[in-house]
Amino acid sequence: MEGFDVSAAEKLSAHYETLENTDSIVPPATLLERLRILRGIVSTEGNALLLAASQLDSEAVQAAEMTANCEGCVVVTGVGKAGIVGKKLVATLASTGTPAHFLHPAEAVHGDLGRVRENDLVWAISNSGRSEEVVRIAPHLRENSAGLIAITATAENPLADAANCIVAIGKHSEACPNGLAPTSSTAVMMAVGDAIAMLASQLRSFSPQDFARFHPGGALGQKLATVDQMMRNLDACRIAPPHITVREAMVRTSKNGRRTGAVMLVDQQGILVGIFTDSDLARLLETRNDTALDEPISERMTCQPTTVHSATLLQEAIAVMSRRHISELPVVDANSRPLGLIDITDVAAMLGDRDEPSILPFAS
């Protein structure tokens, strides 16, 4: 029970017990009393979560294993607040490697039962296990799917009777002042559903890179993006052989539009052997070393430049650029052949305006 103010929950209970026999509820008058009620409600839900966690058993593990092994989609169904929880769990499943969609029980009996296939797995959510709309379709769902998982308070109700797997989440006192609105029960439903989905994703060996594929937008997408999504591809890069002069390299690699800040030098096998940056050129011009412009660029390039491999996380590449104080970072394959270039100007453009949502291109 660590981290939860149990005394606050007890005081909350006492507060409402004193009001049971009154005709009207007296609103809490002071800031302290209102804060005590807020803390008590959160503590009540928190304690329910801790109790539910301690009561989870092998059935919950079986539910995660069935989910991980599902060859079709996970179909989640529920009505009322349980249905709303179910829609959120669909989103959790879908974003962590398990295709999922929601089936409304009322629509199911009007044709949507046809959305459930024999290789799909069904999650049916009902705290009481007696929701008429859900119980009515439960036999059909079990018969026409790969399995029916019931997420419900106990193992003794009509929904549990129809299920292949029963995840009993326990009975919990609602945090609602009147003990009526689903609060603690829905918090537990959500947490247990999340736990099953997270275990299933681990059983599928779902990686951060997999997660990134489903989250290309916003700060999360930026955090999990790879260099392949940000780099300039070879057709937008400046590439030259190392034996030509600096001047010739500048002319040969001239491109219209926004160019990269470096020329990548490759040998006859296409292997990266060096890099010559705009900063290198600027230093030659600042020292008025005009003769150097007609020397082989191999004498002025940086040999064995810092590189990263394809599929490296973008945040790791940015960290490398920061540590090495470089503005251009070649991306290479396993044979040190360039695939593209990370340019600091592109990174700055991506990170410069946090108010605008960024959507990175999908990796091919």
Could you tell me which residues are annotated as the binding site for Zn(2+)?
104
Distance CA 174, CA 193 (A): 18
DSSP state of 179: S
CB neighbour class for 169 (10 Å; exposed up to 12, middle 13-18, buried from 19): buried
Residue closest to 348 by CA, chosen among 230, 234, 264: 230
308-309 and 302-303 as β-strands: parallel, antiparallel, unpaired? unpaired
Q: Which residues are annotated as a binding site?
A: 104
Q: Which residues pair with 266 in a beta bridge?
A: 272
Q: Is 76 helix (H, G, I), strand (E, B) or coil?
A: strand
Question: What is the helix (H) or strand (E) element at residue 263, kind and residue range?
Answer: strand 262-266
Distance CA 31, CA 20 (A): 22
Residues 14-46 as b or e (16 or more Cβ within 10 Å = b): ebeeeeeeeeeeeeeeeeeeeebbebbbbbbbb
Q: Which residues pair with 338 in a beta bridge?
A: 332
Distance CA 19, CA 322 (A): 63
Structure tokens at 316: 């790791």
DSSP state of 43: H
Distance CA 124, CA 151 (A): 6
Four-CA torsion 268, 273, 278, 284, nearest 10 degrees: -100
Alpha-carbon Rg of the chain, whole angstroms? Answer: 30
